[in-house]
Amino acid sequence: MKKLIQPRTIPDSPIYFEIDVPGKGVHHFRLPRPSMAARLLQPMISGGIWTATAEGGGIDQASALLSEEAVGAAIGICWRHVALELETKRAHHDRDADGMLDYGCAVLEELYEGGYSVEDMGPIISQVGTRLLTSILPPAEEVDQQANFSAPGSALAT
Protein backbone atom coordinates (compact mmCIF):
# COMPACT_ATOMS: atom_id res chain seq x y z
CA MET A 1 0.00 0.00 0.00
CA LYS A 2 1.39 3.37 -0.88
CA LYS A 3 0.48 6.85 0.19
CA LEU A 4 -0.75 9.07 -2.62
CA ILE A 5 1.30 12.22 -3.19
CA GLN A 6 -1.81 14.10 -4.29
CA PRO A 7 -4.99 13.13 -2.37
CA ARG A 8 -7.69 11.60 -4.54
CA THR A 9 -10.79 13.70 -5.19
CA ILE A 10 -13.99 11.78 -4.53
CA PRO A 11 -16.83 12.89 -6.80
CA ASP A 12 -20.26 13.64 -5.39
CA SER A 13 -21.90 10.71 -7.15
CA PRO A 14 -24.22 7.89 -6.08
CA ILE A 15 -21.69 5.29 -7.23
CA TYR A 16 -19.23 6.47 -4.54
CA PHE A 17 -19.73 5.66 -0.89
CA GLU A 18 -17.78 5.88 2.33
CA ILE A 19 -17.23 3.52 5.22
CA ASP A 20 -15.93 4.59 8.62
CA VAL A 21 -13.41 1.97 9.71
CA PRO A 22 -12.93 2.32 13.48
CA GLY A 23 -9.36 3.39 14.22
CA LYS A 24 -8.56 3.83 10.51
CA GLY A 25 -10.96 6.62 9.52
CA VAL A 26 -13.19 7.10 6.51
CA HIS A 27 -12.54 4.94 3.46
CA HIS A 28 -14.10 5.61 0.06
CA PHE A 29 -15.22 3.04 -2.47
CA ARG A 30 -16.70 3.14 -5.97
CA LEU A 31 -19.31 0.76 -7.31
CA PRO A 32 -18.29 -0.86 -10.59
CA ARG A 33 -20.67 -1.21 -13.52
CA PRO A 34 -23.45 -3.78 -12.88
CA SER A 35 -21.88 -6.53 -15.01
CA MET A 36 -18.66 -6.32 -12.99
CA ALA A 37 -20.63 -6.23 -9.73
CA ALA A 38 -22.36 -9.45 -10.79
CA ARG A 39 -19.00 -11.07 -11.63
CA LEU A 40 -17.67 -10.10 -8.20
CA LEU A 41 -20.75 -11.40 -6.37
CA GLN A 42 -21.11 -14.69 -8.24
CA PRO A 43 -18.43 -16.64 -6.33
CA MET A 44 -19.68 -15.23 -3.01
CA ILE A 45 -23.29 -16.18 -3.70
CA SER A 46 -22.65 -19.60 -5.18
CA GLY A 47 -19.72 -20.44 -2.89
CA GLY A 48 -21.86 -22.46 -0.49
CA ILE A 49 -19.41 -22.26 2.39
CA TRP A 50 -21.92 -23.89 4.76
CA THR A 51 -22.42 -27.56 4.04
CA ALA A 52 -24.48 -30.24 5.68
CA THR A 53 -22.42 -33.06 7.13
CA ALA A 54 -23.29 -36.23 8.97
CA GLU A 55 -22.30 -34.47 12.19
CA GLY A 56 -24.39 -31.38 11.37
CA GLY A 57 -23.35 -28.11 9.78
CA GLY A 58 -19.77 -27.34 8.98
CA ILE A 59 -17.61 -25.10 6.86
CA ASP A 60 -16.16 -26.36 3.62
CA GLN A 61 -12.67 -24.87 3.89
CA ALA A 62 -12.04 -24.75 0.12
CA SER A 63 -15.30 -22.87 -0.50
CA ALA A 64 -14.60 -20.54 2.42
CA LEU A 65 -11.19 -19.71 0.96
CA LEU A 66 -12.67 -19.01 -2.48
CA SER A 67 -15.33 -16.77 -0.91
CA GLU A 68 -12.63 -14.89 1.00
CA GLU A 69 -10.65 -14.35 -2.20
CA ALA A 70 -13.82 -13.15 -3.97
CA VAL A 71 -14.38 -10.63 -1.16
CA GLY A 72 -10.79 -9.44 -1.58
CA ALA A 73 -11.36 -8.92 -5.30
CA ALA A 74 -14.52 -6.92 -4.58
CA ILE A 75 -12.66 -4.70 -2.10
CA GLY A 76 -9.80 -4.15 -4.56
CA ILE A 77 -12.06 -3.28 -7.49
CA CYS A 78 -14.09 -0.84 -5.37
CA TRP A 79 -11.16 0.74 -3.42
CA ARG A 80 -10.91 4.55 -3.77
CA HIS A 81 -9.21 5.67 -0.56
CA VAL A 82 -8.42 9.41 -0.54
CA ALA A 83 -4.82 8.99 0.59
CA LEU A 84 -3.89 5.32 0.09
CA GLU A 85 -3.51 3.35 -3.13
CA LEU A 86 -3.39 -0.41 -3.38
CA GLU A 87 -0.26 -1.56 -5.14
CA THR A 88 -2.01 -4.76 -6.20
CA LYS A 89 -3.44 -4.16 -9.66
CA ARG A 90 -6.19 -6.14 -11.35
CA ALA A 91 -4.37 -5.79 -14.67
CA HIS A 92 -1.48 -7.89 -13.30
CA HIS A 93 -3.72 -10.96 -13.03
CA ASP A 94 -5.39 -13.16 -15.64
CA ARG A 95 -8.79 -11.96 -16.88
CA ASP A 96 -10.53 -15.25 -16.06
CA ALA A 97 -12.31 -16.24 -12.84
CA ASP A 98 -9.14 -17.76 -11.36
CA GLY A 99 -7.27 -14.54 -12.08
CA MET A 100 -9.97 -12.58 -10.26
CA LEU A 101 -9.56 -14.82 -7.21
CA ASP A 102 -5.76 -14.51 -7.39
CA TYR A 103 -6.21 -10.74 -7.44
CA GLY A 104 -8.51 -10.93 -4.40
CA CYS A 105 -5.97 -13.00 -2.49
CA ALA A 106 -3.25 -10.44 -3.28
CA VAL A 107 -5.51 -7.54 -2.16
CA LEU A 108 -6.21 -9.24 1.17
CA GLU A 109 -2.49 -9.93 1.67
CA GLU A 110 -1.67 -6.29 0.95
CA LEU A 111 -4.30 -5.03 3.39
CA TYR A 112 -3.06 -7.48 6.04
CA GLU A 113 0.53 -6.31 5.50
CA GLY A 114 -0.74 -2.71 5.68
CA GLY A 115 -2.06 -3.29 9.21
CA TYR A 116 -5.71 -4.11 8.53
CA SER A 117 -6.96 -6.66 11.05
CA VAL A 118 -9.96 -8.95 10.75
CA GLU A 119 -11.86 -6.45 12.90
CA ASP A 120 -10.89 -3.59 10.56
CA MET A 121 -12.12 -5.58 7.57
CA GLY A 122 -15.56 -6.32 9.07
CA PRO A 123 -17.27 -3.04 8.15
CA ILE A 124 -15.55 -2.95 4.76
CA ILE A 125 -16.65 -6.48 3.85
CA SER A 126 -20.20 -5.88 5.07
CA GLN A 127 -20.72 -2.56 3.30
CA VAL A 128 -18.96 -3.40 0.04
CA GLY A 129 -20.91 -6.67 -0.25
CA THR A 130 -24.22 -4.98 0.54
CA ARG A 131 -23.59 -2.13 -1.90
CA LEU A 132 -22.57 -4.52 -4.68
CA LEU A 133 -25.67 -6.65 -4.14
CA THR A 134 -28.08 -3.72 -4.09
CA SER A 135 -26.41 -2.25 -7.19
CA ILE A 136 -27.49 -5.23 -9.29
CA LEU A 137 -30.98 -5.65 -7.86
CA PRO A 138 -33.76 -4.27 -10.04
CA PRO A 139 -35.45 -1.06 -8.86
CA ALA A 140 -38.56 -1.49 -6.67
CA GLU A 141 -40.77 -0.04 -9.43
CA GLU A 142 -39.59 -2.71 -11.85
CA VAL A 143 -40.28 -5.46 -9.30
CA ASP A 144 -43.78 -4.04 -8.69
CA GLN A 145 -44.47 -3.98 -12.43
CA GLN A 146 -43.37 -7.59 -12.81
CA ALA A 147 -45.35 -8.72 -9.74
CA ASN A 148 -48.51 -6.87 -10.85
CA PHE A 149 -48.55 -7.95 -14.47
CA SER A 150 -52.16 -9.16 -14.31
CA ALA A 151 -55.35 -7.92 -12.71
CA PRO A 152 -56.34 -9.63 -9.50
CA GLY A 153 -58.92 -12.38 -9.92
CA SER A 154 -61.97 -12.95 -7.79
CA ALA A 155 -61.89 -15.45 -4.97
CA LEU A 156 -63.85 -18.63 -5.55
CA ALA A 157 -66.44 -19.49 -2.93
CA THR A 158 -66.43 -23.03 -1.65
Please compute Rg for the chain using Cα positions. Answer: 20
Question: Are residues 19 and 8 in contact, defined by beta-carbon separation less than 8 angstroms?
Answer: no
Task: Please report the pLDDT score of residue 51 as a whole number.
Answer: 45
Pairwise CA distance, residues 145 & 155, whole Å: 22
Closest CA to 29 of 117, 150, 126, 124: 124
pLDDT at 157 over 60: no
Phi and psi torsions of 35, nearest 5° = -65, -40
Split at pLDDT 50, 70, 90, the class of 138 is: confident
Task: Specify the pLDDT at position 3.
Answer: 96
For residues 59-80, give the mean pLDDT: 79
pLDDT (mean) for 6-31? 96
99 Cβ partners below 8 Å, 6+ apart?
93
Mean pLDDT of 126-146: 76
pLDDT at position 131: 93
pLDDT digits 0-9 by tens, 46-58: 765 434 444 544 4
Instruction: Indicate whether 88 pLDDT > 50.
Output: yes
| CA separation, residue 20 to residues 12, 27, 69, 120 (Å) | 17, 6, 22, 10
* 99 burial via Cβ count (<10 Å: 0-12, 13-18, 19+): middle
> What average pLDDT does this structure show over 125-153?
71
pLDDT greater at residue 157 or residue 108: 108
Domain boundaries along the sequence of the chain: 26-137
In which band, very low, low, confident or very high, does the pLDDT at 68 lie, cut at 50, 70 and 90? Answer: confident
Report the SS3 class of residue 22. coil
